[in-house]
Chain A
Amino acid sequence: MNETHDGLIKTQLSNGLTVLVKEAHFAPVASLWIWYRVGSRNEYTGITGISHWVEHMLFKGTAAFPRGAVDKAVAREGGVFNGMTWYDFTTYYATLPADRIELEAQIEADRMVNACFDPQDVASERTVIISERQGAENDPQFLLSEEVLAAAFRVHPYGTGTIGHMCDLETMTREQLYAHYRTYYTPQNALVVAVGDLTAQEMLRIVDRHFEALPNGPDVPAVNAVEPPQKGERRVVLEGDGTVAYFQTVFRAPGVHDDDFFAMIALDAILAGAGGMTMMGGGLTNKSSRLYRALVTTDLAVAVYGSLVPTIDPYVYSLSAVVRPGHTLEEVEQALDVELARIVAEPVTGDELTKALKQAKAQFAYSSESVTGQAFWMGFSELFADYTWFDTFIARLSAVTAEDVQRAAQRYLQRSNQTVGWYVPTDDSK
C-alpha cells in the first residue's frame, strides 16, 4: 500500500502502524509525531479526562527512560517536545536537529508499550491535572464554552471537554488509566508522521527500526455514539465573576466528508475571518469580516471569533463575542442574527470568495514554513480523512461557489440547529 510522490511516502508496517514521511530541505531540522486515535471522543462519564491524563503519564517514565529522562534527552539534543490531547486524538512530538530525529522515534516506540504508571506518579499527576483544570476555570470563556457544548451534545462525547469533569479527575484509579493506555496504545491504532531534512527512505528506515518489532493489539472499542438531530434551539445562561459579558453560539455542523464542509469554511471566513480553522495559530486579523463590522464597528462588542474544526464525527460551528460594557447580550445576539439572516437570504459576492481563498493560500504558506506545522497538518488530516485532505485544501476551497455557501447557510445556520450561551457577570462594582 505504498504511496510515493514528491519525497513523500505513506506505508503501513506489518503490525498495522501507518507511517507517513515527507522530505523538507529548507532547514536542518525534522519533526516526528505519533498520533493515537484516542481522545475524549472515546470517553464516558466516570472516566472523562482519562485520555489527557494518560498523555501526562507518558511523560512520567519507562524503564529505559525514567521520569524526566525524555524531557532531558530531547532538550540535550537541542529539541523541543510536547504532547496534546483533543477529542479525536492524543499526539506526541519532538522537533530536533535533523540528524537527531531518531531519538524521538526511540522514545515513542518505547513509551507506546513500556510506560510505568507508577502509583506515586499517578497521585502527583492527579493534582497537576486538577490544577490545569482549575487554571482553565479561572477563564469565563472556558466556563461558557463548556456549558454550551454540554448543551449542544447530549449523546455524543464531544459534549465533554478533553480536560474532563472534576469529579472524575478526583476519583479515577491507576488501574483505569493503565487499562485505557493498554487498550488504545497499539501500532494499529497509531500513526507516525515525520517531516524533515532527511530523505524519505532514511526517515522510513528510522521508523521501521524502532516500531516494526512492536506487537499488535486487539481492535479498539468502536465509538457508537451518534448525536440525534437537534430539533429546536437550546439556551444556556451561566453566571459568574467579573464585569464583562461573553456570548457564544454553536450550530451543529457538517462532517468533513460532507460536501458542505468546504462551503462552511468559506462561510466562516466571510462571517468571522479566516483563521478560525487552524489549531496551530493563524495570526490573521478579522476586522474586515461581516461580523466584525456588525458587532465591533457598531460598538456592541469588542471582539468576535469564528471556529470550524475538522473532526471525525460531525461537530459544531462556533461564533463567540466579548460584549462591550454598556451594551447587552441581547443586543449582540440580535445584531448577530441580522447578519446570519443576511447570509442565509443573499448569496455572498465573488470578491468575498476570492478573499477567503487568498487568505487560505497565505495561511498555508505561513504554516508550511516549519516542519512542525507541516507534520501537524499531515497527521491531523490523516485522522479524519487522509493527508491529501491538506494537500487538496486550496483546490477544494476554490471550487466553492456562492450558491454552495448559501445552501450551507440555509442548512446549518438555523435557529433550531443552534445552542446559544450567555455568560452573565455578577460583579457590578463599576
Chain B
Amino acid sequence: MSIPGPHDITRCELPNGIVVLVRENHSSPAVIVNGYLPVGGYDERPEQAGLAAFTADALMRGTAKRTFEQIYEALESVGASVDVSSGTYSTGFGAKSLAEDVPLVLDVLSDALRSPTFPPDEIEKLRGEILTDLEERAHDTRRMANLAFHELAYPEWHPYAHSLLGYSETVGALQRDDLAEFYASGYGAQGMVIVVVGGVKTANVLAQIEEAFGDWEGCRRARAPLPDVPPITEVCKGVITIPGKTQADLVLGYPGPPRTDPEFLDAMVCNTILGVFGLMGRLGENVRDAQGLAYYSYSRVDGGPGPGPWRIVAGVDPANVEQAVASMRDEIRRICEELVEVEELADNKAFITGSLPLRLETNEGVAHSIISMERYNLGLDYLERYADLIGEITAERVQAVAARWLDPDAYALAVAGPSAE
C-alpha cells in the first residue's frame, strides 16, 4: 500500500463550495467520513461562551426528518456513529460505519448539519448534561489546570482564553433562539470539507455526497484569521485549590506556532525531543525516569489554525510541584541554549518519519492526514515530501524555534490540586 497522495486521493469541489476528498481502501470493510465547517467558538461573543459547542451538540438532537431517538436508533442499529463537535475556529464531524451503511451515515449527517430543529425539551436535556459536565470539571485537576493555563497564557480578548464548553453562568443563560441564530448565521456549504476513506467506490460516494449536500446553500460572512498574541514576558502563575484531591496537575507553557507557520515542523521536531520521543522525551527522562516525580510529564505543540498552545503537563504530588517546575524550566533552558546532539536529533527525525506507516494504518489515520493537507494548504503530495521536509531540519533550526517560542524565565503556569500543606 502506498503513501496517500495525488495518485490515489480524489479531490473535487461542488458548485456550492464544498470540497470533497476521497481515498479508497478496499482492504477495509469500514468507512470513515470526517470533515469540518468554518464555524466555531471564535464566532460567539464572550458572554455567550459555550454557544458554539452547545449548538454543535444540539444538531444531533432532532432534525426535520428524525427525532433524537430515531437518529440514534438508525445509527446504533448498524453499529455506526456520527459525531459533531465544535472547535475554536471550526466545527468538526466524524462518522464511522461499515461500507454498506455509508448512504445512511451521509443522510443522517446531512440532516443534522442542514435541518436541525433544536427541539426545546432536547435543548434542556443537553443543557443539563453540559452543566453537569462543568460541575465535574470544577473538581477535575487536569481540566482545571488546563482551563487556568489558557486564561493565563492568552489575553482576555483572544478566543483561546475562553473555555469552548463555556461556564455555568454563560451556558445557563443561553436560549434556544441563541442556538438557532448561531446556526443560521454560521452554518453553510461554503468552506465545508468532507473526507471519505475506506471501502468505497469514489464515483459512488461522490454521487452520494452530491445528493446529500449538493443543493445546500449558505454563503457565510467573511472571517478574519485567528489573531496573533504577544509573547509572554513574565511568569504568570495561577493556583486553583481543589480540596479532597490527592495529586496536583500542572500545565506550564506558551502560545505556540499556528500549523501554517513556516517553522511549524521545526517546532514539532523540537517538541518531540522535549517531551514525546520514547517515553515522553527529555521531560520523561528527567521528571519521571530519573527523579520519580510524576507518572506523566510530557509536552505538546498543538498547532492548529491559530497560535495554539505549546505546553508541558505533569501530575505530581502536591509537595513536589516546585521541584517539577524547576526541572521543566531546566529542560526548556537546555533546549533553548544548547544545540541538540547529532545523534539525538537523528533519532527523533527517524521516529517522526519512520512512524508514518503506523499513523496511516487505519482509515481514521489517513482521513486525519488528508484533512490537515486540505485545511492548512499543505498540498496532496505533502506526505510524499514529508521525509525530506523533516530531513532538512538542523540542530540550529531546532534551537532557533525553541528560542523563538519558549522561555525558561517567562511562562504561564497553572496548578490545580489540593493545597500543598
How far does the Cβ of A311 sit from chain B's closest Cβ, in whole Å?
25
Q: Given contacts A72-B277, A369-B363, is CB(A358)–CB(B78) below 8 Å?
A: yes
- Residue pair A78, B355 in contact (C-beta under 8 Å): yes
Tell yes or no: B69 within 8 A of A by CB.
Answer: yes
Q: Given contacts A29-B361, A78-B356, is CB(A128)–CB(B288) below 8 Å?
A: yes
Tell yes or no: B141 within 8 A of A by CB.
Answer: yes
Question: Which residues of chain B have C-beta atoms less than 8 A from A284's C-beta?
Answer: 76, 79, 81
Tell yes or no: A129 within 8 A of B by CB.
Answer: yes
Q: How far is the CA of A393 from the CA of B292 in the complex (A)?
A: 43
Tell yes or no: A302 within 8 A of B by CB.
Answer: yes
Q: Given contacts A131-B317, A135-B315, A362-B30, is CB(A285)–CB(B246) below 8 Å?
A: no
Tell yes or no: B330 within 8 A of A by CB.
Answer: no
- Residue pair A363, B79 in contact (C-beta under 8 Å): yes
Q: Given contacts A75-B347, A134-B247, A284-B81, is CB(A325)–CB(B354) below 8 Å?
A: no
Tell yes or no: A388 within 8 A of B by CB.
Answer: no
- Residue pair A243, B315 in contact (C-beta under 8 Å): no
Tell yes or no: B175 within 8 A of A by CB.
Answer: no
Within 8 A of A (CB), among B58-81: 68-69, 72-73, 75-81
- Residue pair B30, A132 in contact (C-beta under 8 Å): no
Q: Which of A118-126, A169-177, A215-223, A258-266 contacts B (4 or more CB under 8 A)?
A: A118-126
Q: Given contacts A362-B97, A366-B96, is CB(A72)–CB(B347) below 8 Å?
A: yes
The residue among B80, B249, B354 with the most chain A CB atoms within 10 A of its own CB is B354
Tell yes or no: A80 within 8 A of B by CB.
Answer: yes
**B355 interface neighbour in A71, A80, A325, Cβ under 8 Å:** A80
**A241 interface neighbour in B81, B242, B357, Cβ under 8 Å:** B242
Q: How far is the CA of A13 from the CA of B77 in the complex (A)?
A: 45
Within 8 A of A (CB), among B228-262: 242-247, 249
How far does the Cβ of B116 sit from chain A's closest Cβ, in whole Å?
16
How far does the Cβ of B120 sit from chain A's closest Cβ, in whole Å?
14
- Residue pair A131, B69 in contact (C-beta under 8 Å): no
How far does the Cβ of A162 sit from chain B's closest Cβ, in whole Å?
14
- Residue pair A72, B278 in contact (C-beta under 8 Å): yes
Q: Given contacts A359-B76, A361-B98, is CB(A138)–CB(B140) below 8 Å?
A: yes
Tell yes or no: A332 within 8 A of B by CB.
Answer: no
Q: How far is the CA of A107 from the CA of B356 in the complex (A)?
A: 22
**B292 interface neighbour in A79, A127, A285, Cβ under 8 Å:** A127
- Residue pair A27, B360 in contact (C-beta under 8 Å): yes
Tell yes or no: A355 within 8 A of B by CB.
Answer: yes
Tell yes or no: A286 within 8 A of B by CB.
Answer: yes
- Residue pair B354, A129 in contact (C-beta under 8 Å): no
- Interface size of A by CB at 8 A reads 77
How far does the Cβ of A2 sit from chain B's closest Cβ, in whole Å?
27
Within 8 A of B (CB), among A292-336: 293, 296-297, 299, 302-303, 322, 324-326
Q: Given contacts A124-B290, A128-B292, is CB(A78)–CB(B72) below 8 Å?
A: no
How far does the Cβ of A60 sit from chain B's closest Cβ, in whole Å?
8
Tell yes or no: B389 within 8 A of A by CB.
Answer: no
- Residue pair A79, B358 in contact (C-beta under 8 Å): yes
Tell yes or no: A59 within 8 A of B by CB.
Answer: yes
- Residue pair B139, A324 in contact (C-beta under 8 Å): no
Question: Which residues of chain B have C-beta atoms less than 8 A from A296's C-beta?
Answer: 125
Tell yes or no: A242 within 8 A of B by CB.
Answer: yes
Within 8 A of A (CB), among B69-121: 69, 72-73, 75-81, 83, 96-98
Q: Which of B130-138, B149-157, B403-411 contacts A (4 or more CB under 8 A)?
A: B130-138
Question: Which residues of chain A have C-beta atoms less than 8 A from B79's C-beta?
Answer: 274, 284, 358-363
Question: Which residues of chain A have C-beta atoms less than 8 A from B81's C-beta?
Answer: 283-285
Q: How far is the CA of A125 from the CA of B360 in the complex (A)?
A: 34
Question: Which residues of chain B have C-beta atoms less than 8 A from A59's C-beta?
Answer: 279
Tell yes or no: A76 within 8 A of B by CB.
Answer: yes
| A140 (CB) vs chain B CBs: closest residue | B139
Tell yes or no: A95 within 8 A of B by CB.
Answer: yes
Q: How far is the CA of A27 from the CA of B96 in the complex (A)?
A: 20
How far does the Cβ of A98 sit from chain B's closest Cβ, in whole Å?
8
Tell yes or no: B204 within 8 A of A by CB.
Answer: no
Tell yes or no: A68 within 8 A of B by CB.
Answer: yes
Within 8 A of B (CB), among A323-378: 324-326, 354-355, 358-363, 365-366, 369-371
Within 8 A of B (CB), among A106-165: 123-132, 134-135, 137-140
Question: Which residues of chain B have C-beta atoms less than 8 A from A75's C-beta?
Answer: 277-278, 347, 350-351, 355
- Residue pair B76, A68 in contact (C-beta under 8 Å): no
Q: How far is the CA of A296 from the CA of B72 in the complex (A)?
A: 14
Tell yes or no: B227 within 8 A of A by CB.
Answer: no
Q: Given contacts A128-B292, A137-B246, is CB(A369)–CB(B278) below 8 Å?
A: no
- Residue pair A288, B77 in contact (C-beta under 8 Å): yes
Q: How far is the CA of A361 from the CA of B125 in the complex (A)?
A: 31
Query: Can you list 19 pairs linking A and B with CB atoms under 8 Å apart?
Result: A27-B360, A68-B278, A71-B278, A72-B277, A127-B292, A131-B294, A135-B295, A243-B135, A274-B79, A285-B75, A287-B72, A287-B76, A302-B132, A324-B132, A355-B76, A361-B79, A369-B361, A369-B362, A430-B135
